[in-house]
Amino acid sequence: MKKRIGIGIDLGGSSIKFALGTEQGEILKRGKRPSYAQEDYPIILDEISKAINDLVVYAKSIGKKVSAIGIGTPGSVDVTSGFLKGSTPNFRYWKKVPIKKELEQKVGLPVFVDNDANLMALGEARFGAGIGHKNIICLTIGTGIGGGIILNGELFRGSNFAGAELGHTTIKYNGVDCRCGGKGCLEKYASASAMIDQFYKKSRGQGYPVYKDELNVKYIFKQMESGNSLAKEVIENSTYYLGRGLANFMNIFNPTIIIIGGGVAEAGRAYLKRIKNIAFKYAMDCSRENVIIAGAKLGNKAGYMGAISFALNQLSLVSSMKRSN
């Protein structure tokens, strides 16, 4: 069987990660460009099309032809039309963008667009920690908490492409305000930013000279390991909330695996172990049976690998629909 080739684009707040790869998950070339998140949207589209053109040229040089392009972007996407509906906090003008239409005009190849957390989940499901699983919950813990849900082997997007917002499930009903309009959302308590915020506030409160710009999750874990009680408290709080969140997801979806990705998951094995303990303690007996809670395997490759797989799959769907008409 001939291996089809696709391009995957993972648009993030600071960079565009991109790759050329096969349907089977083999990566032939990859790269990174700035995403210019504060600029007007045509500039971002230009950067994406430059990345695509470079990869198309490379594919030609090795005698291959690109069949389709998959784009993962933050925000809510109408997958049928490839239109970015909602805005996203890290980008200034990246909303209401006809991504598919504009990019297809620029690059002359079929383009398919989905939410970035969805495509990361798909990447992990097909090529990473989720191989062999059909019901998968995937969380990416970073500035916020991105969620992806795979049910019976398919991405679940909701009826209006706005589902799977696992980071915005309420974990504290009267908690702090969230950018989504809700209160006490999981990401306000268990994201990397929430951890950093709490550590910063607590340390300042106790008179420690901590600079927020220099803080990251790895540092907080290191501090905990060297006996810093504030770091311990922050990590214990955050893992407690995340564990409670996971218990909810186990009760609702009854997955066989929950995959945790993002910088926080990479920061320490103790982190995953603690989340597991809390989640298993609070989930219902039947819901937690045979559930694995595991770290993501693909790191920041998950987004573009999922995008390639998604694009080639959508291309097959479109061609089979054309044939049956």
Q: Which residues bind Zn ion (CB under 5 A)?
A: 168, 178, 180, 182, 185
* CB-nearer residue toward Zn ion: 180 or 210: 180
Q: Are 123 and 301 in contact (CB under 8 A)?
A: yes
Output the smallest distance, CB 139 to Zn ion, in A: 14
Output the smallest distance, CB 138 to Zn ion, in A: 18
Q: Which residue has the tokens 């797989």?
A: 309
Residue 51 host element (H or E): helix 41-61
* CB-nearer residue toward Zn ion: 134 or 172: 172
Per the structure block, which two tokens stand in for 43?
């500039």
Output the smallest distance, CB 185 to Zn ion, in A: 3
Output the smallest distance, CB 168 to Zn ion, in A: 4
* CB-nearer residue toward Zn ion: 28 or 178: 178
Output the smallest distance, CB 227 to Zn ion, in A: 34
Output the smallest distance, CB 165 to Zn ion, in A: 8
* CB-nearer residue toward Zn ion: 43 or 162: 162
Q: For 63, phi and psi rounded to 5 degrees?
A: 75, 25
* CB-nearer residue toward Zn ion: 168 or 301: 168
* CB-nearer residue toward Zn ion: 16 or 185: 185
Output the smallest distance, CB 251 to Zn ion, in A: 20
d(CA 120, CA 303) in angstroms, rounded, equals 4
Q: Which residue has the tokens 């003008």?
A: 93
Per the structure block, which two tokens stand in for 201?
């506030």
Output the smallest distance, CB 179 to Zn ion, in A: 6
Q: Are 97 and 280 in contact (CB under 8 A)?
A: no
Q: Are 182 and 173 in contact (CB under 8 A)?
A: no
Helix axes 192-205, 229-253, angle to 10 degrees: 150
Q: For 323, phi and psi rounded to 5 degrees?
A: -65, -40
Q: Are 31 and 75 in contact (CB under 8 A)?
A: no
HSE of 7, CA atoms in CB hemisphere, 13 A: 31
d(CA 52, CA 59) in angstroms, rounded, equals 10
Q: Which of 116, 47, 131 is closest to 262 using CA atoms?
A: 116
* CB-nearer residue toward Zn ion: 228 or 237: 237
* CB-nearer residue toward Zn ion: 98 or 182: 182
One-letter amino acid identity for 122? L
